[in-house]
Amino acid sequence: MAKRSKKKIVLLALLAGVVLLTGLLVRGYLKYREFRENPAKIIEAIPEGTNIVLGEVRHTAVREGRKEWVLEASSAQYSESSKEAVFNDVKVTFFLENGDRIHLEGQKGTINTASNDMQVAGNVRIDKDDQTLLTEKIDYNHETRYITSPSEVLITGRNFDLRADTMRVDLATETAFFTGAVEGKIDAANQLRL
C-alpha cells in the first residue's frame, strides 16, 4: 500500500510539473507575441534605472494613427534614467502629409524617449527628390515637426545651390527658413520645393 501511495505522489508531482511547465511556456509565448506586435512595450518592461545596448534598431513614431517617421540604426544604447537613446549610423525617413518622404542620415543620433525629439550629428545628409542638404547637426522637435540646423547648411538641387548659416524647416507646411549669411544661385526657370 505504501508503494502505491509513493507511486501516486510521484505521478501527481510529475503531472503538476508538466502543468507548471506548460503554463510557463504559454505565458512566455504570449509575452513574445505582445512584444512582437508592439516593440515599444519592451522599453516599458525594462526596470527603472537600467541601461541596455541593442544592435540593428528600428523605431517608428506614430501620431493619431499616422506614421510620422521611421528611424533605423546599426546600434543603440538606451538609458532609462535619462530617458534617452543614442544611435549609431542613423537613417530617418520623415513622412509628409502629401505622401512625400524626406530621408535623413548621419553618424550619431539621440532621441529623448519621453518626447520623441531627436538630434542627428556628423556628416548629416537630407535628401528629398533631387535636392540634397548637407550640414553637421540637425535637431528635430516632434511636437512642432520642425527640423532645425544651428550650423551651416548647403543645399543643392538640379538648378540651384544655396548656403546659409542656419535653417529651420516646418514639415507640416513644407516651408524652409534660412538665416545668417544666405547665398545662392538659382536658375530663374526652377521653382524651389521643399
Q: In this model, does residue 49 exceed pLDDT 70?
A: no
Which ranges in 62-128 belong to alpha helices (H)? none
**φ, ψ for residue 2 (rounded to 5)?**
-65, -35
- Copy the grid coordinates of residue 194: 521643399
pLDDT score for 77: 85
> What mean pLDDT value characterizes the chain?
85
Number of H helices, E strands in the chain: 2, 12
pLDDT score for 25: 85
pLDDT score for 194: 47
- Residue type present at position 166: T
Find the mean pLDDT for residues 28-50: 65
Q: State if pTM tops 0.75.
A: no
pLDDT in tens, 134-184: 999 999 999 999 999 999 999 998 888 999 999 999 998 989 999 999 998
pLDDT score for 170: 93
CATH number of 47-186: 2.60.450.10
CA distance 95 to 101: 5
pLDDT score for 53: 65
Band of pLDDT at residue 39, cut at 50, 70 and 90: low
